[in-house]
């Protein structure tokens, strides 16, 4: 028998192209599933709240303007194995979760709670993030303006044009074994970089714009081309 919560949940399967001209609010135990060949085009906005959740299967798509998820807790994760391409993706409630195993292209990743996160196991391309954003990256990530918390898994890579210029609430970076982080401009104020204890990670920085109370732990190689400040002090277990 199915769990009572599962039995009460309604499923809406999108198999063709669906264009939303208004801003519907799906708030009553709805699982919105976009199957292969299906597409939701959001011309204004779409909101899923309470225990409603979204699933995009391979070759399914969600495109357009704004998608807002206010579903609460890891018991209601959202999942993308297809393509999500939006102007704005918002998650404001605590303990929210979006898994990406496909392609995730978002101009504004508006994650506003420190306990809510994007887990990327596919390819993610983001223009800017909120200062409370948390991203766990296990594959490939590109961000133009990143603020928040970033965790790179083993063998993963990320490219960031501007790193923590606006400084998130708890700026923190964790790098797994054999992970690579490329940064064009780094603002390292109250930053904590945590490398692996077994093996090494690589951080390549074109230019350090700010440096204040920067801390580095674990095994991290640093390749830095330019530093705006007159000196850079790193722990002895780091390599420059």
Q: How far is the C-alpha of 56 from the C-alpha of 184, rounded, in Å?
A: 33
> What are 59-101's pLDDT values in tens digits?
999 999 999 988 766 667 899 999 999 999 999 888 889 999 9
Segment 217-235 shows an average pLDDT of: 75
pLDDT tens per residue across span 124-147: 999 999 888 999 999 999 999 999
Q: Where does residue 230 rank: exposed (0-12), middle (13-18), buried (19+ CB within 10 A)?
A: exposed
The rounded distance, in Å, linking the Cα atoms of 45 and 25 is 9
Each residue's pLDDT tens digit, 163-212:
988 875 566 899 999 999 999 999 988 889 999 999 999 999 999 998 88
Which pTM does this prediction carry?
A: 0.87
* Ordered DSSP codes for 165-182: SS--SS-EEEE-TT-EEE
Burial grade of 96 (CB within 10 A; 0-12, 13-18, 19 or more): buried
Report how far residue 104's alpha carbon sits from residue 40's, in angstroms, rounded to the nearest whole number.
15
Burial class of 191 by CB neighbour count within 10 A (0 to 12, 13 to 18, 19+)? buried
């Amino acid at each position: 028998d199915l769990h009572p919560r599962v039995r009460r949940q309604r499923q809406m399967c999108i198999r063709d192209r669906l264009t939303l001209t208004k801003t519907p609010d799906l708030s009553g135990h709805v699982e919105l599933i976009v199957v292969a060949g299906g597409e939701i085009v959001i011309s204004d906005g779409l909101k899923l709240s309470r225990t409603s959740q979204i699933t995009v299967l391979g070759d399914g798509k969600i495109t357009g303007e704004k998608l807002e998820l206010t579903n609460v807790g890891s018991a209601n994760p959202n999942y993308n194995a297809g393509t999500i391409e939006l102007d704005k993706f918002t998650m404001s409630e605590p303990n929210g979760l979006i898994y990406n195993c496909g392609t995730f292209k978002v101009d504004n990743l508006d994650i506003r709670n420190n306990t809510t996160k994007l887990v990327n196991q596919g390819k993610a391309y983001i223009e800017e993030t909120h200062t409370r954003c948390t991203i766990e990256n296990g594959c490939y990530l590109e961000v133009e303006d990143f603020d928040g918390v970033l965790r790179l898994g083993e063998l993963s890579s990320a490219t960031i044009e501007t790193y923590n210029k606006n400084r998130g609430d708890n700026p923190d970076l964790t790098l797994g074994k054999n992970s690579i982080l490329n940064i064009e401009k780094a603002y390292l104020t109250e930053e904590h970089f945590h490398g692996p204890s077994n093996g090494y990670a690589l951080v390549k920085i074109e230019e350090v714009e700010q440096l204040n109370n920067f801390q580095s732990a674990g095994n991290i190689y640093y390749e830095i081309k330019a530093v705006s400040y007159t000196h850079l002090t790193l722990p002895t277990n780091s390599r420059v």
